[in-house]
A and B are shown apart, each in its own frame.
Chain A
Amino acid sequence: MAKVPKPEELLSGISYKPPEKGWMAVKPDLRPGTYVNAASAKWLKFLDYPFPRDWSVADEDWKLPPNWREIVLEGMEDRLARFRSLKVFFDICVRCGACADKCHFFLGTGDPKNMPVLRAELMRSVYKRYFTVAGRVLGEVAGARDLDEQVLREWFSYLHQCTICRRCSLFCPYGIDMAEMTILGRELLSSVGLNIEWAAASVGSCYEKGSHIGATPQAYKDMIDFLAEENERITGVTTEVTYNRKGAEILFVVPSGDYFADPGSYTMMGYLLLFKYLDLDYTMSTYAAEGGNFGWFISHEMGKRLNAKIYEEAKRLKVKWIMGGECGHMWRICNQYMPTYYGQPVDFLEEPVSPITGTRFENAKTHKMVHISEFTADLIHHGKLKLDPRRNAHIKLTFHDSCNTSRGMGIFEEPRYIIKSVLPEENFVEMPPHTIRERTFCCGSSAALNADEFMETRMKGGLPRATAVQYVAEKYGVNHLGCICALDRATLPTLVNYWVPGMEVTGITELVGNALVFDDEIDRDMDLRDRELVYPIVKGEAGEETEEAGMEAAEAPEAEEGE
């Protein structure tokens, strides 16, 4: 694996000076560290995906099928007909450049082809050549070019330097959605057997066993049971989970990172504690064992295939509605694609209603899934949780809006409302306004780009995010970066360890788990990560004080602007 340059080497290597030659003449530079490995044949065979073969990105010969050009062009024609948006996005761009410096990959690499306008042009130029009169007649003068292997290499390189985060779309006066173009471009690559291993292995594992990590049902149960035991050890509260239980009110689905990897596993402990506190009638499924969907990072068809199991399991278990954990792209899919992917009305589920507060989640009327942050914020708003923020006094937090839950779903206030209820007031600090909420900077490794071999580009792509984190760390002493996405919890620790050493990454429900006060808990002197609390709570000796603090915390914070 390529050696990752040191931060100072990487910084000094970033140049915004464009190459002297025109963009069509510049060939893609695919050196180790700047690409994700090619997908192995075994996964494509298993998924029945076209042209499985063993090849390497570094090879001269990508072993393309002889008629690859026809396949790609036919695929483009097909998608132009099926996705009117794609044709509009190709035709409408006026090269205003508003998007150019909004992409984290451009800011971190200085490569002009990472300007979204030019990334789209890599495909648009082919569209013009084969599907417009001007391009067919005038060729390069009209910005058109032939589709050759170099073009395909370019697509492979730059469509895998896009995390489909849509920050560029936010600034585009026409709202051109680069993410949609990237996904369709990746589909075209996939149609001639050009896939990345990190996506294909995750998808294959999920399709075969139910989760991206490839957990078997017994492993799934073993891990979650282990985390429940950890809860009991730390809090004295038993948080047992039922699996595949028919007739439960709610099916709870989480991204697999939450029950397999740190620090997501602490978020998982928080979920279990919260549900125990409420005596919630929920179950978890060894079949719908994955909230995330790496299929969507390859093609809509694969996204649809993986997504189906969540509804199918909800139907089989006869639950009323579905709650999802802290995941990013699960919510983008849920919010924008899920009912379409499913292809029929989700009439076997009910419009979600919180059994604790009676709140009707009208926003989930169609897809019937509620985000745990919505659920928890509603609980706090109704004063249903006894919380002691002092148990998070050692945590000085800033919040990273995940691309998908913010730009894809508009969840801005709920996590902040929760944070303000579970942390001492002075312990929450925002990053600069142009780096949060809908303008948030991506972690730089999403969309199946969180592979180790891609580390150099990942660290470049994450630089804008890390810079904002560093700013609040130095200015306010922030020591934790909060998020509501498992991909963030997988990628941000690596990113901040590289750029802002000492920073920890945490899910928000972990903080809820720390702060929840149970009647029958043991003395709490450790947080969920076994770190000593700054203000240990000792019952008996300081019982009165504890009670008072708890009462204060139970009051809902002032409503925020925009709620």
Chain B
Amino acid sequence: MPNVEFKGKVFEVDEDGFLANLDQWCQEWVDYVKDSEGISELTDDHWKVINMLQDYYKKNGIAPMVRILSKVTGFKLKQIYELFPSGPGKGACKMAGLAKPTGCV
């Protein structure tokens, strides 16, 4: 698997650039995705999404469906796209260090 280096840390990622292992998740990873996503500053709203995603993932072993993310955080899909320009999957889940779901999605 390819590696990504950022601020002295080395992260193992898949071919899509998603973190291979949630255990490697840390502030540097967040900063790395923030830069590549072109997000100027992380706000409390960003963290609300990241925390929700990680909590759900730890409990359920999978990223939440977008509608559950919306309901729990109170952000409409449009707002999530404003926070994470690549969207809930390729932006938010990636920043939160979650694996991306496969199959008919």
Asked if A212 is at the interface of the complex by the 8 Å CB criterion, the answer is yes
Task: With CB as the reference atom, state the residue of chain A lying closest to B71.
Answer: A226
User: Would you call A211 and B103 a contact (CB within 8 A)?
Assistant: yes
**A265 CB within 8 Å of chain B:** yes
- With contacts A218-B60, A226-B68, A262-B67 taken as known, whether A197 is within 8 angstroms of B15 at the C-beta atoms is yes
Contact indicator A450/B104 (Cβ below 8 Å): yes
Complex: chain B residue closest to A230, CB-CB: B67
Binary flags per residue of A428-454, CB closer than 8 Å to B gives 1, else 0: 000000000000000000000010110
CB distance from B101 to the nearest CB of A (A): 4
Is B66 part of the binding interface, using a Cβ–Cβ cutoff of 8 Å?
Answer: yes
Given A255-B104, A256-B103, check contact A215 B67 (CB 8 Å). no
| Interface membership of A486, Cβ < 8 A | yes
Asked if A37 contacts B103 (CB within 8 A), the reply is no
Interface string of A61-95 (1 = CB under 8 A from B): 00000000000000000000000000000000000
Chain B proximity of A220: nearest CB distance (Å)? 9
Does more than half of chain A's interface fall in helix, strand or loop, or is it mixed? Answer: helix
| Chain A residues positioned under 8 Å from B60 (CB to CB) | 215-216, 218-219, 222
B residues in contact with A260, CB < 8 Å: 65, 101, 105
A40 to B16, CA, bound (A): 12
Question: In the complex, what residues of A have CB within 8 A of residue B62's CB?
Answer: 213-216, 219
The stretch from A115-123, A201-209, A386-394 touching chain B is A201-209
Residues of A within 8 A of B101 (CB): 205, 212-214, 260
Q: Is the CB of A40 within 8 A of B104?
A: no
Give the contacts of B60-79 with A (CB-CB under 8 A): 60-62, 65-68, 71
Instruction: Kindly state whether residue A292 has any CB partner on chain B within 8 Å.
Output: yes
Kindly supply a per-residue 1/0 record for chain B positions 55-98, scoring 1 wherever the CB is within 8 Å of any chain A CB and 0 otherwise.
00001111001111001000000000000000000100000000
> Is the CB–CB distance between B15 and A202 below 8 Å?
no
- Point out which of B14, B62, B71, B90 has the most chain A C-beta atoms below 10 A from its C-beta: B62
A450, B90: Cα distance in complex, Å: 15
Contact status B15-A226, CB under 8 Å: no
What are the residues of chain B within 8 A of A256 when measuring CB–CB?
Answer: 103-105
**Chain A residues within an 8 Å CB radius of B15:** 37-38, 40, 56, 197, 453
Q: Determine whether A482 belongs to the interface, using a CB cutoff of 8 Å to chain B.
A: no
Distance in angstroms from A67 CB to nearest chain B CB is 26
- Kindly state the separation between the CA atoms of A261 and B102 in the bound complex, as whole angstroms: 11
Chain B residues, CB < 8 A from A415: none
Interface centre among B60, B68, B103, B104 (most CB of A within 10 A): B104
Alpha-carbon gap, A255 to B102, bound state (A): 12
Asked if B102 contacts A257 (CB within 8 A), the reply is: no
Q: Are B104 and A257 in contact (CB under 8 A)?
A: yes
User: Which one of A38, A222, A264 lies within 8 Å of B104 (CB-CB)?
Assistant: A264
When A37-B16, A226-B68, A452-B16 are in contact, do A212 and B61 touch as well, CB less than 8 Å?
Answer: no
Contact among A1, A214, A255, A489 for B61, CB-based, below 8 A: A214
What chain B residues lie within 8 Å of A312 (beta carbons)? none
Known: A223-B68, A226-B68, A453-B15. A209 touches B61 (CB 8 A): yes
Please name 16 pairs of A and B residues whose Cβ atoms are closer than 8 Å in the assembled complex, sorted by A. A40-B14, A201-B102, A205-B102, A212-B104, A213-B102, A213-B105, A216-B61, A219-B62, A222-B60, A226-B67, A230-B67, A257-B103, A260-B65, A261-B66, A294-B103, A490-B104
Pairs of residues from A and B, 6 with the lowest C-beta to C-beta distance, nearest first: A212-B103, A257-B104, A219-B60, A213-B101, A486-B104, A216-B61
Residues of chain A having any CB pair with chain B under 8 Å:
1, 37-38, 40, 54, 56, 197-198, 201-202, 205-206, 209, 211-216, 218-219, 222-223, 226, 230, 255-257, 259-262, 264-265, 290, 292, 294, 450, 452-453, 486-487, 489-490
